[in-house]
Amino acid sequence: MAHRSARSSSRRQRQEVAAEAARIIATEGQRSYLAAKQKAAERLGAASRGGLPTNAEIERALKEWQHLYGGPEHAERLRAMRLAALEAMDFLEPFQPRLVGPVLEGTADEYSRVCLHLFSEDPDAVVHFLMEHGIDFEQERRRIRWHDGDYREVDVLVVEAGEQTVEMTLMIGRDAVHPPPSPIDGNAVRRIGRADLRALIDQG
């Protein structure tokens, strides 16, 4: 009986921390789920008691938070970001763009970027393409987990497009067609092309 009560208490704590972490992500611009859950646990005095919620639990709590508190403003923002993503994908069509991340999953907020995966055999092709079209960009390097379990350094190009920030991760090489693991649940990251994005926008 005591064991069952302890499990119930631990589950309740995880839910409370997940809900607070979701609120932190939605309202404070925190991008890291790990940092959000640690901050939430500290605020709730739960840092040393039981396990913390998984990223997937925080993702579910974030969707619930946005459903309850986001209202029409969240829906309008998400639609605007998806339309911006579609416009960028049309422009970047030579690189088979795929939408990933919060804008696809419906968890995007005012701090989110439009995240795209671009594919090319030539690591400089996208850079040359943007320069030829007179588009200013910033370049970042990021370490991500690859589909085979190893970690790789990838180039990320960031463009300010009107009210949206578009982040383009360069997926170089033939094996880049295999989706990398999602940092949320470890499964292959979900990504969609232009046709599926249009259908998603039409669904509202």
Angle at the Cα of 108 (from 86 to 45), degrees rounded to 5?
165
Ordered per-residue pLDDT tens for the chain, 204 residues: 545 555 667 788 889 999 999 899 988 888 788 899 899 999 988 765 557 899 999 999 998 998 888 889 999 999 999 999 999 999 999 999 999 999 999 999 888 999 999 999 999 999 999 999 999 999 999 998 888 888 989 999 999 998 999 999 999 988 888 999 988 888 899 999 999 999 999 997
Residue with tokens 């439009």: 114
Instruction: Specify the pLDDT at position 6.
Output: 52
Instruction: Specify the pLDDT at position 175.
Output: 81
> Which two three-digit tokens encode residue 59?
């993702």
- How many other C-beta atoms can be found within 10 angstroms of the C-beta atom of residue 20? 23
Residue 192 and residue 142 in contact, taking contact as beta carbons nearer than 8 Å: no
Instruction: Specify the pLDDT at position 47.
Output: 60
Alpha-carbon distance 97 to 169, whole Å? 10
Instruction: Specify the pLDDT at position 189.
Output: 93
CATH number, domain 73-203: 3.30.460
Instruction: Specify the pLDDT at position 17.
Output: 92
Edge to edge, what strands does the sheet with 164-172 contain? 98-100, 114-120, 164-172, 151-161, 138-145
> Which two three-digit tokens encode residue 190?
């979900």
Task: Pick the closest to residue 13 from 34, 36, 41 (CA basis).
Answer: 41
Cβ burial, residue 28 (10 Å; 0-12/13-18/19+): exposed
Phi and psi (nearest 5°) for 169? -90, 125
Instruction: Specify the pLDDT at position 141.
Output: 95
